[in-house]
Every structure is written in structure tokens, then in C-alpha cells.
Amino acid sequence: MFTYNGYVIGTFAPGRSANCKDSDVETEPYTVAYNLLNCHAVAYKKYEKDYKSFQRVKWELRLTLAFASLFVVRVMMKMSKPCNMHMISGTDVKVKWPENMQKFSTTPTANYPKGLTLPEFSDDQCTKLIDSYDFLGINYYTAFYIQYQALSVDIPPGYTRDGRFKASGNDSNGDPIGKQAYVDPTNPMLSWVYLCPAELTELLYLVKNTYNVSKPIIITENGSPEMNDTGKTYQEVWDDTYRLEYIQKHLTAIRTAICNKVNVKGYFAWSFMDSFEWSFGYKDRFGLTYVDYVNNLQRYPKTGYFRRNFRRKFSAGNF
């Protein structure tokens, strides 16, 4: 998120994008990610050596992932490996470089355009990166179909062009991959969340089995947005049917993964209350608690705001 939004499309600080005269969006984002990971590894090793024994703070490596499925008619297929069209899947581009350090791999799985290559990690850097975290954090909201696309200068720079794929919430028939949170005709960027709990289970299997992750996994963000409609009554605000379904089904998906030996240890719904959402500001609402931005910021809990006997129901798999 930091690298792509800050150094590819420029919506986050420091606002680097193709519009900057001195920016090279084909190489700079990868260099940034390369430097961030190496800094993380060095800092972790330093902390582990000098402070961890008595401070006991746990370090996280966090990924924001969406499960990618082949773009076909009503058929879902995992994209854990490159297909025979020489296409690297979106999951590979976002995960295998460089989280594949856990598999002692120094060879990138995707080539740069124009014959350039990804920054290469040395053996020493790989050694430091391996196990440079105490738990893996995963932000998961939705899934998309992906379709091969040939390299073209008409495609904006970024990992989608480098990975030779494009993502869509609809299949070739126009059917959505899951129930959509809402549709905002004035801003399609806010209409990106689909209800895809089964794909979260598949993603957790992929992380465990393909990338050999045995350390604890925590779902650090999971939630659905709704439009900022200040004209709603309290009854309309309280009746949070979609979000309640969204959370319940994703918790069930996590339980399925846990029952199949995936080491998931925690879950955080996004978010406790409506908040300032990065570059989107207050345009969409993720809160389990409604914040009335017009009337003195009054807060109103919704039906999705946690239930009694949650632990018992989760253990039984019955919500």
C-alpha cells in the first residue's frame, strides 16, 4: 500500500508518480520495496539481539492481499502458479517477491519491461529476511478475477502491467465474483469490495502451503464499506445486514482454515467505528459503530457490533 500508492499512483505521501518529472515508476517502486524490506530485516535483527529478551515485543510482517482467480465463465481456479500463457498471477507478483525469501529464493518470478530486472537480494540479505517477523499480518477484504493482458505502454505502470494481468470484480458474463458491498456510480473506486469468504480460506491455504508459513497469522484488517449517506435514519443505520453477513462468513472461513491446520491466531474487523479512510477521507464508512458527522459526532452501534456468546458460537462454527 505504502509503495504502490506513494510511488506508483502518487495518492499517498510522498506523491511520486508518472507525473513527476524525475520519477521512474518502472523501477522506483521496486527499489523502495527492496529498501523497506532490507531496513525491516536489519531493524528486526538488531531488536532481537539487544532488546527482545526483556521487552518481549512481537514484530509483524503485513501483506494486503486479494485472492486472484482466473477470468473464466463461472469457473474459479487458484492462481498459485504461472499459467501456460507465461503470465505471472497477481498473487505471485504481490507475494513471491520478496516474501518468497522464506523459500530461500533469490530469483524474481517476474521480469521488468524493457529488459530490466527486479533488484536482487544477496545471500546475506536473504538470510536476514528469513524469519524476520514473529507473526504474519494479512489485510483481506475481497477477491477479483484476473485476465491475461499483453504488455502495452497504454497500461499504467505498476505490478498489474509487470504481471501481465488485469483485475475485475466481474467474470466474462458480467456476473460479480461475490455480493457487492454497494455500488457508487459517482465513484467506482469505492465499489471494490465483494463478499468472497471462501477465497480467504483458499488464500490462507496458499500462504501456508506455498510459502511454508508456520508462524502465527493474524487477520489484521477485514471489513466492508458503505456509502456516506447522512440522510439515513437511526433504524437504517442500525440495520447493518450486509456487514453482519460479511463478518460472520469471513469468521467461518477462518475457522475452516484453522480446522485444517492453518495457524491463524487473531482477527481484527475493520473498523470499530467510521473513520478517516486515507485518500478517500470520509467518503466511505467501514465502522461497526456509526458516527454522525453532522450532529456532534454522535456514535451509534449497529447490529454488526459484536454479539454475546461470540466465543462459544465461533468454537462451534455456528453464528
CA dihedral over 65, 276, 217, 103, signed as positive or negative: positive
> Higher model confidence: residue 57 or residue 184?
57
How far apart are alpha carbons 67 and 202 in whole angstroms? 8
- In degrees, to the nearest 5, what angle opens at C-alpha 68 toward C-alphas 104 and 218? 65
Q: Are strands 264-267 and 165-168 parallel, antiparallel or unpaired?
A: unpaired
Region 40-57: mean pLDDT is 94
pLDDT at 140 over 90: yes
One-letter identity of residue 167? A
How far apart are alpha carbons 109 and 282 in whole angstroms? 38
pLDDT in tens, 79-105: 323 322 222 333 443 444 444 433 333
CATH topology of domain 2-316: TIM Barrel (3.20.20)
**127-131, 232-236, 289-293: which range is least confident on average?**
232-236
Averaged confidence pLDDT in the chain: 78
Region 226-245: mean pLDDT is 82
pLDDT of residue 40: 93
pLDDT of residue 79: 31
pLDDT of residue 283: 81
pLDDT of residue 53: 93
Residue 245 pLDDT class (50, 70, 90 cuts): very high
pLDDT of residue 314: 64
pLDDT of residue 147: 81
Residue 117 pLDDT class (50, 70, 90 cuts): low
> Higher model confidence: residue 3 or residue 234?
3
pLDDT at 1 over 60: yes
> Higher model confidence: residue 250 or residue 94?
250
Contact, 97 vs 150, CB < 8 A? no
Nearest CA among 290, 304, 293 for reference residue 234 = 290
CA atoms within 13 A on the CB side of 269: 23
pLDDT of residue 183: 79
How far apart are alpha carbons 31 and 119 in whole angstroms? 7
- In degrees, to the nearest 5, what angle opens at C-alpha 199 toward C-alphas 177 and 255? 135
Which residues, listed in sequence order, are joined to residue 194 by a DSSP beta bridge? 180
pLDDT in tens, 174-221: 888 999 988 777 766 557 899 999 999 999 998 999 888 899 999 999
Residue 77 pLDDT class (50, 70, 90 cuts): very low
Grid look-up 461475490 returns 178
Contact, 30 vs 7, CB < 8 A? no
pLDDT of residue 141: 93
pLDDT in tens, 7-34: 888 888 999 988 888 888 878 888 898 8
Region 35-41: mean pLDDT is 92
Contact, 109 vs 164, CB < 8 A? no
For the chain, where are the alpha helices, taking DSSP H only?
Answer: 2-7, 28-50, 52-55, 90-91, 97-99, 123-129, 159-162, 197-210, 234-238, 241-259, 310-316
pLDDT of residue 110: 46
Residue 308 pLDDT class (50, 70, 90 cuts): low
Which residues, listed in sequence order, are joined to residue 137 by a DSSP beta bridge? 62, 218
pLDDT of residue 228: 82
One-letter identity of residue 300? Y
CA dihedral over 147, 152, 154, 160, signed as positive or negative: positive
Q: Spell out the domain ranges in the chain.
A: 2-316
How far apart are alpha carbons 173 and 170 in whole angstroms? 8
How far apart are alpha carbons 189 and 170 in whole angstroms? 15
Grid look-up 452501534 returns 301
Region 40-59: mean pLDDT is 93
**92-96, 149-153, 236-240: which range is least confident on average?**
92-96
Furthest C-alpha separation in the chain: 60
pLDDT at 58 over 80: yes
